[in-house]
A = this chain, B = another copy of it.
């Protein structure tokens, strides 16, 4: 009867169904808005991450679940468009850090506004109390984001 062999559930299967459907819907919105600005979903995501972080290539790749080589191409294309820049870490001369440019930051802002605007009809179907409640219920499910370290402040004592 039940979709699988858990004792009593049903709540879990319904929840997963809702989460998956909502995920596809959100991705649809992000994909469309990105496409209107010639950005893939991944590039949109990279912009959102690099907006307040300067991650190393390898950390970013790991976070995104992509191979290093994939990231090389992704960053190269964004760099060619003037949205991102590569910098070298003072601590490790092998490492490359990804930095957002002013143009990239402006585009990211515009993108975020559009996302809020397009999603507004949906989120508006809940009242503020329900929105807060939904946000709270979602929180325990979320994995932690990349630590938001804007820049390495310490001059890497011991290495230099």
Residues on A lying within 8 angstroms of B by beta carbon are 3-4, 9, 11-28, 30-32, 45, 65, 112-113, 115-116, 119-120, 122-126, 128, 130-135, 137-143, 145
Contact of A23 among B12, B22, B131 (CB under 8 A): B22
20 contacts between A and B (CB under 8 A): A3-B112, A3-B116, A11-B135, A12-B124, A13-B116, A14-B132, A15-B126, A16-B119, A16-B123, A18-B142, A21-B138, A21-B142, A22-B22, A22-B138, A23-B27, A24-B45, A25-B141, A25-B142, A32-B65, A126-B137
Contact (Cβ within 8 A) A18 B116: no
Query: Besides the contacts A15-B131, A21-B142, A123-B141, what 17 more A-B pairs have beta carbons closer than 8 Å?
Result: A4-B113, A9-B128, A12-B124, A14-B131, A14-B132, A16-B115, A16-B123, A17-B135, A18-B138, A18-B142, A20-B30, A21-B145, A22-B23, A22-B141, A24-B45, A25-B142, A133-B133
| A13 CB contacts on chain B under 8 angstroms | 116
Query: Which 3 A-B pairs rank lowest in CB-CB distance, beginning with the nearest?
Result: A23-B26, A11-B131, A23-B23
| A130 CB contacts on chain B under 8 angstroms | 137
